Amino acid sequence: MLSVEHVSKVYETRRGPHKVFEDISFTLQRSRNLGILGRNGAGKSTMIRLISGAERPTTGRIRRGMRVSWPLAFAGAFAGNLTGLDNLKFICRVYGIDYKPLVPFIEDFTELGSFFREPVMHYSHGMMTRLAFALSMAIEFDCFLIDEAMIVGDARFHQRCHYELFQKRKDRAFILVSHDVNAIKTYCENAVVLHDGRLFAFPNVDAAYAFYLQTLANKPEVIEQWQM
């Protein structure tokens, strides 16, 4: 089980402390999933970073009773003069597995051809994303963190991601953050909304969606009602 317990995150800014969110709690069981909806700047990516462990909460704690992935398709850790293969080796060394059996899958999925053995700095954005996604599939996690905004590609790429993630690994837990309700409606069994530094829980995705629409329309009086 993954549990987020009374988590707050505060950043120091030039105008003093900025609270991204305060006292947020939720849990996620194995093999279950959760969508997190939120407008731009609501703190969705911050939440993903906290859950992944790259950043620490200011207060509260996050307990990971299962293997939680890094944000899917995260390409930020690529160094320009490492090749695709170097990056695969690096990740396999960190997680203590043998890289060789994975090479065929990575080559097939990324369709990089000979570029797999070229430095990443010569890659296009699409090639980078395909490699990053494939590397996320190389390690078997119990729970995937998915920031929908990071997975940008053509229809074929999306189809293949869909197959790898939601068909081949449909027994895994995941957290999907997005500002687009379609993705969440398609993949998630339940959803919460991040708004104004707080987390709003709902009995089902439709209720979350209805509330999310209100936050988009920015109607404070409606939002107040929900806070009761």
CA distance 179 to 181: 6
Q: Which is nearer to another protein, 91 or 188 (CB)?
A: 91
Binding-site member from 26, 90, 115, 226 for another protein (CB under 8 A): 90
- Bridge partners (DSSP) of residue 61 are 5
Q: Which is nearer to another protein, 117 or 162 (CB)?
A: 117
89 lies in the site for another protein, by CB under 8 A: yes
Q: For the segment 93-122, give every residue that binds another protein (CB under 8 A).
A: 93-96
Q: Which is nearer to another protein, 83 or 215 (CB)?
A: 83
As given in the structure block, the two tokens for residue 130 are 């395909």
CA distance 129 to 125: 6
Give the chain's count of helices (H) and strands (E). 8, 9
91 lies in the site for another protein, by CB under 8 A: yes
70 lies in the site for another protein, by CB under 8 A: yes
81 lies in the site for another protein, by CB under 8 A: yes
Burial of 34 (0-12, 13-18, 19+ CB in 10 A): buried
86 lies in the site for another protein, by CB under 8 A: yes
Each residue 43-62 as x (binds another protein by CB under 8 A) or -, in order, gives ------x--xxxxx------
Residue located via tokens 């069994």:
189
25 lies in the site for another protein, by CB under 8 A: no
64 lies in the site for another protein, by CB under 8 A: yes
Residue 190: helix, strand or coil by DSSP? coil
As given in the structure block, the two tokens for residue 151 are 């997975």
Q: Which is nearer to another protein, 141 or 202 (CB)?
A: 141
- Do 145 and 175 form a contact (C-beta atoms < 8 A)? yes
Binding-site member from 5, 26, 32, 66 for another protein (CB under 8 A): 66
CA distance 22 to 55: 16
Interacting residues with another protein (CB under 8 A): 11, 49, 52-56, 63-68, 70-71, 74, 76-77, 79, 81-82, 86, 89-91, 93-96
